[in-house]
Amino acid sequence: MRESWPHAPPHHFTPRGTYIITAATLHRKRLFDSGAKLDLLRDTTFELVKNYALILQAWAFFWNHYHLVISFENTTTTQHDFIRHLHRELATRLNRIDDTPGRRVMYEFWDSRLTFEKSWLARLNYVHQNAVKHGLVPVANQYSWCSASWFETNSRSGFVKSVYSFKTDRVNVPDDF
């Protein structure tokens, strides 16, 4: 998360795979409706990514959903196990803050294994630019809860330009939030 983008090409298309994951809150309610709650969403995700030795390549966190591009190459866990654990932790921690024990927080998730480089690059761009798509900021690196600023700072400029050149209009990701 806070580490540099790999200088050598990582093995993106390993048997355990790299995925784009999108998840939504129950009834798409805006449960992460403050900076502190968005921090909770981000920080809980980062904590579990580290614990599972995953490679988080892009992220965008919003009031009622999130997007991740994440590699499972260094772990034996599956994306489903990781998501279940993440969603359980998010519910426990958010419900403690809101004093709503037992409330269901996360409801749906979609995941797609990325098996082609162009597909992966387009989805990296899609996730980095998602706050702009939702009209929250004019430039992606201005949104505190996405990876654009981190990516621009920690990746080679040529790679950033390459990723940002990929069109996202044909990317099929659930995002009608």
Give the Cα separation of 66 and 176 in Å (integer): 12
pLDDT digits (tens, 9 = 90+) for 74-98: 888 989 999 999 999 999 999 999 9
Domain 18-164, architecture per CATH: 2-Layer Sandwich (3.30)
What residues contact residue 145 under an 8 Å CB cut-off, 6+ apart? Answer: 38, 39, 41, 42, 59, 60, 61, 62, 131
Query: With bands split at pLDDT 50, 70 and 90, how would you rate the model's confidence at 6?
Result: low
Please provide the size of the chain in residues. 177
Identify the pLDDT of residue 74.
82
Tokens in use for 76? 């034996």
Over the stretch 96-130, which tens digit does the pLDDT of each residue have?
999 999 999 999 899 999 989 999 999 999 999 99
Average pLDDT over residues 159-174: 90
pLDDT on residue 175: 83
| Cα–Cα distance, 4 to 136 (Å, whole number) | 26
The domains of the chain are located at 18-164
Flag whether pLDDT at 7 surpasses 50: no
